[in-house]
Amino acid sequence: MIELPEQPEDVRGRPAAITLVVTVLAIVASVVVVWLMRPARSGAVSGPVIAPDFDAPTVFEERRAAQATAMDTWTWADPAHTRVRMPVGLAIDRYLGRSEGGPP
């Protein structure tokens, strides 16, 4: 049987002290950065801060909704009123002969 050498159970002080000092310096540096980035306070009242409405639709969502509405409604395709634009799903169904629906 091979005997393994035992390690001493004492903790070396220098690496632990260096780790502690680096941690404390990182915390202090973080506090200083946050303190420097705070908004400047003046005596004048600038009014209430209004948070943005995150539930409001974005420009792209509004555009997408308008396109979806245009795709799902019946409209004339030409000024002579001889061709009609129809919803895509209904056009596919009529092309395949599954539906007999017409314009309202």
Q: What is the pLDDT of residues 63-81, one digit of tens each?
A: 999 998 888 888 888 899 8
Q: Of 60, 61, 86, 62, which is closest to residue 72 (Cα–Cα)? A: 86
Q: Which tens digits make up the pLDDT trace of 47-67?
A: 677 778 888 888 999 999 999
Is the pTM above the cut of 0.85? no
Dist CA 17 CA 9 (whole Å): 17
Mean pLDDT of 6-20: 83
Does 80 map to a domain? yes
Burial group, residue 63, by CB count within 10 angstroms (0-12, 13-18, 19+): exposed
Amino acid symbol at 4: L
In a domain, residue 89? The reply is yes
Q: Is the pLDDT of residue 104 over 50?
A: no
Domain region containing 86: 74-104
* Count of domains for the chain: 1
Residue 2 lies in a domain: no
Which two three-digit tokens encode residue 75?
Answer: 């409209």
